[in-house]
């Protein structure tokens, strides 16, 4: 952070703080938010965490989960009051205000100190303090580094350490993606020293599936996976009826895209899901193909080079047709063989 001393002075006296994170928070969004909330509470601040929407149950173990205010579950007025009365608003794990739905304009229009902590590409210019790096694997890693920069490492307790660890673990795909840097290992080593039970976190995040979720996975792998060999691309398209049939809950489709990406030779993977209000898409790639650019250009989205998301306001079928048709633009890029490690 450029003006770290000014920031340090600002947080040295009690403030009314709001922390918010992106639509459908994942482990990094929620873990970085609750980790930061735990720290700021210890510093004597009055902290509220507001999420635009709900999030998966497998994140509910995080300390502070019980106090999270879910904006679109009847908390619109309460959230607006908190945003308008805040001295400081922290925006975590997103780079543009449209990622927090109606909350975005409330945050934009209120006069208070705004802080952006994030690792997505192309941050919007709205914050007074920015702690941002696309070199960070996770926002949780940045929250850890910021607390250390502020000289407060000793305030990171077991609960904070576990929330932060969860964010780093998931955003690196369990330390598999190329964003798994030396700093990631160093931070995680420190988090274990500070009390994080890493086996517990991974069990709670990955191995608490409902039977419905596992059966849905089987169905999707057997019947919904489509491979476009000429494009080294694989995708799933899931209808609203199929989600309903498997009693799908928030988070039940998370990770599905990785099965498509795990097929040997596949460079580009997508999951296209009819969420009724719109069709949501998750994109992943291996190597130089930028899914951030792809999502931004064709599906009103963005994210990172190798992991991004987007949406479409047409039907599932029309979205799938558009997806297959725009792929043609990338044929030469996608059809070349993937570099292997062998």
Query: Please, what is the minimum distance in Å from the beta carbon of residue 136 to ligand 5GP?
Result: 12
Using CB under 5 A as the criterion, what x/- string covers residues 52-91 for binding Mn ion?
----------------------------------------
CB 257 within 8 A of CB 282: yes
24 to 83, contacts with ligand 5GP by CB under 6 A? Answer: 26
Residue 173 is a binding residue for ligand 5GP (CB under 6 A) = no
Q: How far apart are CA 311 and CA 296, in angstroms?
A: 10
In the complex with Mn ion, the residue whose CB is nearer, 281 or 334, is: 281
- DSSP for 304-335, please give it: -SSEEEEEESS-HHHHHHHHHHHHGGGHHHHH
93 — phi, psi (to 5°)?
A: 65, 30
Residue 301 is a binding residue for ligand 5GP (CB under 6 A) = yes
Sheet of strand 268-274, all strands in order from the earlier edge strand to the far edge: 225-228, 233-238, 268-274, 279-285, 307-312, 302-303
Residue 177 is a binding residue for ligand 5GP (CB under 6 A) = no
118's contact among ligand 5GP, Mn ion, none, with CB below 5 to 8 A by partner kind, is none
Interface residue with ligand 5GP, options 19, 307, 320, 334 (CB under 6 A): 307
21's contact among Mn ion, ligand 5GP, none, with CB below 5 to 8 A by partner kind, is none
106 to 125, contacts with ligand 5GP by CB under 6 A? Answer: 120
User: Per-residue b/e over 265-300, b at no fewer than 16 CB within 10 Å?
Assistant: ebbbbbbbbbeeeebbbbbbbbeebbbbebbbebbe
Query: Please, what is the minimum distance in Å from the beta carbon of residue 81 to Mn ion?
Result: 28
List all residues 6 or more positions away from 151 whose beta carbon is below 8 Å from its beta carbon.
none
CB 302 within 8 A of CB 289: no
Interface residue with Mn ion, options 19, 47, 55, 93 (CB under 5 A): 93
Residue 171 is a binding residue for Mn ion (CB under 5 A) = yes
Query: Please, what is the minimum distance in Å from the beta carbon of residue 67 to ligand 5GP?
Result: 23
In the complex with ligand 5GP, the residue whose CB is nearer, 28 or 242, is: 28
Say how many CA atoms lie within 13 Å of 9 toward its Cβ. Answer: 3
Interface residue with ligand 5GP, options 137, 308, 320, 327 (CB under 6 A): 308
Residue 92 is a binding residue for ligand 5GP (CB under 6 A) = no
Q: How far apart are CA 236 and CA 294, in angstroms?
A: 17
Q: Which stretch binds ligand 5GP (CB under 6 A): 8-16, 194-202, 210-218, 303-311?
A: 303-311
Q: Identify the sign of the CA torsion 165, 275, 237, 242.
A: positive
Closest alpha carbon to 34 in 140, 155, 172, 173: 140
Interface contacts to ligand 5GP, rule CB under 6 A: 22, 26, 99, 120, 282, 301-304, 307-311
Interface contacts to Mn ion, rule CB under 5 A: 28, 93, 139, 171
């Amino acid at each position: 952070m450029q003006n770290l001393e000014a920031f340090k002075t600002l947080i040295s006296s009690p403030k009314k703080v709001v922390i918010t994170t992106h639509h459908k928070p994942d482990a990094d969004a929620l873990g970085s938010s609750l980790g930061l909330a735990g720290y700021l509470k210890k510093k004597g601040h009055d902290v509220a965490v507001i999420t635009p929407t709900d999030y998966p149950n497998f994140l509910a173990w995080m300390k502070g989960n019980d106090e999270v205010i879910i904006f679109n579950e009847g908390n619109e007025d309460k959230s607006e009051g908190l945003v308008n009365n805040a001295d400081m608003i922290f925006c975590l794990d997103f780079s543009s205000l449209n990622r927090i739905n109606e909350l975005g304009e409330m945050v934009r229009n209120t006069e208070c100190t705004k802080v952006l902590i994030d690792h997505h590409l192309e941050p919007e210019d709205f914050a007074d303090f920015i702690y941002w790096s696309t070199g960070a694997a996770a926002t949780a890693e940045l929250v850890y580094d910021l607390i250390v920069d502020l000289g407060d490492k000793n305030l990171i307790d077991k609960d904070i350490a576990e929330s932060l660890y969860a964010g780093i673990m998931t955003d690196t795909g369990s330390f598999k993606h190329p964003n798994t840097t030396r700093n990631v290992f160093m931070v995680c080593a420190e988090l274990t020293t500070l009390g994080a039970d890493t086996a517990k976190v991974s069990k709670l995040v990955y191995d608490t599936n409902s039977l419905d979720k596992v059966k849905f996975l089987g169905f999707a792998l057997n019947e919904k996976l489509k491979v476009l060999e000429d494009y080294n691309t694989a995708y799933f398209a899931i209808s609203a009826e199929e989600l309903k049939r498997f009693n799908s809950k928030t988070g039940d489709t998370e990770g599905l895209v990785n099965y498509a990406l795990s097929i040997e030779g596949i460079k580009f993977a997508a999951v296209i899901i009819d969420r009724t209000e719109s069709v949501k898409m998750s994109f992943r790639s291996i190597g130089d193909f930028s899914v951030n650019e792809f999502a931004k250009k064709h599906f009103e989205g963005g994210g990172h080079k190798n992991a991004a998301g987007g949406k479409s306001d047409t039907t599932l079928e029309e979205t799938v047709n558009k997806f297959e048709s725009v792929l043609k633009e990338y044929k030469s890029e996608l059809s070349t063989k993937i570099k292997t490690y062998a």
